[in-house]
Amino acid sequence: MDKILTENEITIAKEILKNRFNQICVNQKYKEKKFKIPIHLALGHEAIAVSVNNIMKESDSLILSHRNIAYNLARLGVLKPILDEYLLENNGLMNGKLGSMNLINLDHGIVYTSSILGNNFSVAVGVSLSQEIKKSNGITIVLGGDGSIEEGSFHESLLMLKTLNLSTLVIIENNEWSMSTKISERRHPINLQKFCEAYDIKYAKLEGNNVFEYIKILESLKNDCLDSKSPICIEVMVTTLGDWIMKTPEQPNGKFINYHAGPSPNIDLSQGLSPIRNTDEDPLYVLEKICNNFNLDEIKNEILSEKEEGL
């Protein structure tokens, strides 16, 4: 049966679609060689990014990694200041001083973003303690990828968070790839749940890209985190979309390239707001499946007609 979206759910659905559309716009500019800086698109990460945005209160702090575009777009809600930042314009979100991989937005709670794997976890520990000292009643949310949990600082920071009884959500986006290598090709698997058990830290896993479910679960985990004064580690399965087959003299039949950074040749504005992949790996597909396209077309048209000036 078709899901009838509530007003709040329509807003959330719109956030997902807008996040996707804005990333496609950035990809288009990228293909037109408009940027001097590297950008890591996060097509496929929209459900978790929009969910995190929806559970954040003004007193909360968000700490991101190099692949932060979906979160920055979700927090700000518009593309233009972010695009101007990518173009290193003075009127960019941070006056063209940070570019993409370190983009923060203090007005919207994004207090630190690091392009160095694992670097941001310990900074989150400090931010979290500062919230406690300042009695802000806020929570710190820190994002990392599956590659970052290989760093010693991940272990150190979980230990510090637990030792200091700090309310922090540690969210690990697991896309199972590290640049152009699949995890299974490179290292022994890490059982993050058991890893957390070793520190007596609660672990939760999100998969399936259902934004409405994600928000409910994250709200509950956030309250749990604040009540228990303990960190919670959340592993989110994501697929970074935008892959392509690259033909080279060495690989005349083409080689699969999982998207890491730069423009994705397979993504185009002409595809509008259709899912990139018709599986649960794509949050748009999941959204359409939930709503059975009941009232998404209207939202899509609204987004396309609202295309921001200057894009």
Partner 1 sequence: MKYIELVNNLLKQEVNKYEELVLFGQNISAGSCLGGLTRNLKVKESSKVINSTNSENSLCGFGFGLLIGGVNSILFMKQLDFLLLGIDHLVNTFNIIRNMDEIKSKASFTIMPIIVDNGYQGPQSSLNNLSDFCSIARIPGFTITNNLDAKRIISSELVKPGFRIICPSQRLFHEEIHEEKIDFVNNDNTIFQYRTGSNVTIVCFNLSFSYGAELSNRLKKEGISSSLFSVNSPISSDWGKIIEDLKITKQLVVFEDSKSVNTNVDTLLNHISKFCELNKKIVVKREINKDWLNPTSDIIEIKYNEIINKLS
CB of residue 45 to partner 1, shortest distance in Å? 22
Residue 137 lies near partner 1 (rule: CB under 8 A): no
Residue 152 or 249 having the CB closest to partner 1: 152
Which range in 33-41, 120-128, 185-193, 262-270 contacts partner 1 by CB under 8 A? 120-128
Instruction: Restricting to residues 54-83, name those near partner 1 by CB under 8 A.
Output: 61
Residue 153 or 210 having the CB closest to partner 1: 153
Which range in 67-75, 160-168, 172-180, 199-207 contacts partner 1 by CB under 8 A? 160-168
Share of the chain residues as helix, strand and coil, in percent rounded to the nearest 5: 45, 15, 45
User: How far from the centroid of its chain's Cα atoms is residue 166's Cα?
Assistant: 23
| Rg value, the chain, Cα | 19
Which range in 1-9, 100-108, 249-257, 296-304 contacts partner 1 by CB under 8 A? 100-108
Q: Which of 37, 116, 246, 304 binds partner 1 (CB under 8 A)?
A: 116
CB of residue 222 to partner 1, shortest distance in Å? 18
CA distance 69 to 210: 20
> Parallel, antiparallel, or unpaired for β 244-246 and 168-174?
unpaired
Q: Which of 79, 93, 127, 139 binds partner 1 (CB under 8 A)?
A: 127
Residue whose entry in the numeric block shows the structure tokens 């931010």 = 127
Residue 134 lies near partner 1 (rule: CB under 8 A): yes
Q: Which of 19, 27, 128, 210 binds partner 1 (CB under 8 A)?
A: 128
Q: Which of 88, 98, 217, 261 binds partner 1 (CB under 8 A)?
A: 98
CB of residue 7 to partner 1, shortest distance in Å? 35
Tokens of 104: 């923060």
Residue 170 lies near partner 1 (rule: CB under 8 A): no
CB of residue 59 to partner 1, shortest distance in Å? 11
Q: For residue 297, what are the contacts with CB-CB under 8 A and spacing of at least 6?
A: none
Residue 37 lies near partner 1 (rule: CB under 8 A): no
Q: Which residue type occupies 228?
A: S
Q: Are 71 and 143 in contact (CB under 8 A)?
A: yes
- Which ranges of the chain does DSSP label H, i.e. alpha helix? 7-31, 46-55, 69-76, 80-86, 119-133, 152-163, 183-186, 192-198, 211-228, 283-291, 296-305
CA-wise closest residue to 267 among 36, 25, 73: 25
Report the interface residues with partner 1, using CB under 8 A.
61, 94, 97-98, 102, 104, 106, 111-116, 119-131, 133-134, 152-153, 156-157, 159-160, 163-164
